[in-house]
Amino acid sequence: MSRGNNVVVFGAGAVGRGFIGELFSDAGWRVTFVDADPELVAVLRSGSYPHDTVASAGTVRKYVTGCTAVPAQDQAAVRRAVSEADAVFTSVGARNLPRVAPALAAGLADRAAVDGGPMDVYLAENLHEGAKLVRGLLSTELGTLGAEAATVLANVGVVECSIGRMIPVPTESQRREHPALVAVEPYRKLPFDVAACRAPVPDVPELLGNPELDFAFFTERKLYVHNQGHCATAYLGARAGHCEIAPAISDPDILEQVRAAMHAPARALARKYGQPQEELIAHAEDLLARFANTALHDTVERVGRDPERKLQPGERFLGALRLCNQWDDPRPLLPGIALGLEQQAAQGGGSAAVAAVLADVESISPGLAAALVELRGGSPRGTSQR
């Protein structure tokens, strides 16, 4: 592989192909995917794959070109690709980061051994404190290799990103049409933590770094406005009998509740970070319009799954509740939390799980737990009494 505008992308899934691969290919970069799926690796080695941008008005198909792939099982090939790359992205999910760390660390060590210059590893994971986790994994693996971890990592930036593009999991019919076909919404912005970079930022127009703004602003905006509003739409939609997000958010009653639940953290973030409130509100309104994209066919089941995780402290609901309690009105968040508890109860969550959430809510603001119990029909137990 020749040097110059080569990006290695760990994970050829929906985000890897649908977002990272497209942005870098469009900017003239060579894209090398690393994936464990033999069929996917084989088709990506052809050099291109179909990419659909879908909107309610129609679909635009293009082919992402200039790509190849190496199997994740071929550690030597992955190691070589990393050592020769100009940038690396991971898009594998938090659970799989320990699996990619050995080859990633080995490639970075090889690069350092020949004084290959600084390298940035971008995390397209939406993972809280992902940089800290990945630095720890790399340090451990470098020690195993006998490399001086501090020396290697001094030239490595671990850069968190905020993935805001909505990309549903490909359907069976899409996979039958082409194993690498991916469909995405038109939104293409990729905020990243520019302060963490060690190497020059890739010349990719959609990469957005603001050195004057704490990157926590972007991660909190994604989690507390986007993810929270999306999930609230799913829970309210499921209760109303909707199967997909677009018809759910088109229901006026649901739209009104979700808008209130998104505007509150938007106002809170504007106050916390000193940003223009009208821009945060406009961002929330843009998201509401994007949720209504009928061509995405995103399901309320997918968006709302795993309510137990989504009701953890600091997560989309309770994190937004704490933010709003400090900077705005937290009450618009309560309907989503109440319905999340119903979802959790329906999946076998008992009274202990409900009590834990109520305790968290009460610790955020005394009296809010009573309001949440009243909203749920007056029952603190694991099953709603509506």
Q: Which residues are bridge partners to 89 per DSSP?
A: 9, 122
Give per-residue burial for 148-168: e unless 16+ CB within 10 Å, then b.
Answer: ebeebbebbbbbbbbbbbbbb
Which domains, from first to last, does the chain contain? 6-208 (3.40.50.720), 216-375 (1.10.1040.10)
Residue of 260, 268, 385, 373 lying closest to 320 (CA atoms):
268
231 membership: H or E segment, kind and range: helix 228-239
The residues, any chain, with a CB within 8 Å of residue 76's CB and separated by 6 or more, are none
Q: pLDDT category, 378, cuts 50, 70, 90?
A: low
Q: Which residue has the tokens 């933590």?
A: 193
Q: Which residues are bridge partners to 191 per DSSP?
A: 208
- The whole-number average pLDDT for the span 108-136 is 94
Q: Which residue has the tokens 């594998």?
A: 92
Has residue 150 got a pLDDT over 90?
yes
Residue of 102, 110, 45 lying closest to 80 (CA atoms):
110
Instruction: Kindly list the distances between the CA atom of residue 147 and the CA atoms of 76, 151, 165, 206, in Å, as whole numbers in the listed order.
Output: 17, 8, 37, 35
How many angstroms separate the CA atoms of 80 and 65, rounded? 22
> What are the φ and ψ backbone dihedral angles of 243, each rounded to 5 degrees?
-100, -25
Instruction: Kindly list the distances between the CA atom of residue 274 and the CA atoms of 134, 214, 266, 267, 269, in Å, as whole numbers in the listed order.
Output: 30, 11, 12, 10, 8
What confidence tens digit (pLDDT) does each residue in 77-88 have? Answer: 999 999 999 999
Has residue 385 got a pLDDT over 80?
no
Has residue 2 got a pLDDT over 90?
no
Q: Please give the share of the chain, as a percent, with pLDDT higher than 90.
A: 87
In the three-class reduction of DSSP (H, G, I as helix; E, B as strand; rest coil), residue 156 is classed as strand
Q: pLDDT category, 351, cuts 50, 70, 90?
A: confident
Cβ atoms of 46 and 22 within 8 Å: the answer is no
Q: What is the largest CA-CA distance in the chain?
A: 67
Q: Which residue has the tokens 């693996």?
A: 141
Has residue 384 got a pLDDT over 70?
no
Instruction: Kindly list the distances between the CA atom of residue 61 and the CA atoms of 51, 53, 187, 281, 367, in Å, as whole numbers in the listed order.
Output: 6, 6, 15, 32, 52
Lowest mean pLDDT among 47-51, 337-341, 347-351: 347-351
- The whole-number average pLDDT for the span 12-39 is 97
What confidence tens digit (pLDDT) does each residue in 177-227 have? Answer: 999 999 999 999 999 999 999 999 999 999 999 999 999 999 999 999 999
Average predicted confidence (pLDDT) for the chain: 93
In this structure, the strands spanning 87-90 and 6-10 are parallel
How many angstroms separate the CA atoms of 198 and 214, rounded? 17
What is this structure's pTM? 0.90
- What is the pLDDT at residue 79? 97
How many angstroms separate the CA atoms of 260 and 331, rounded? 9
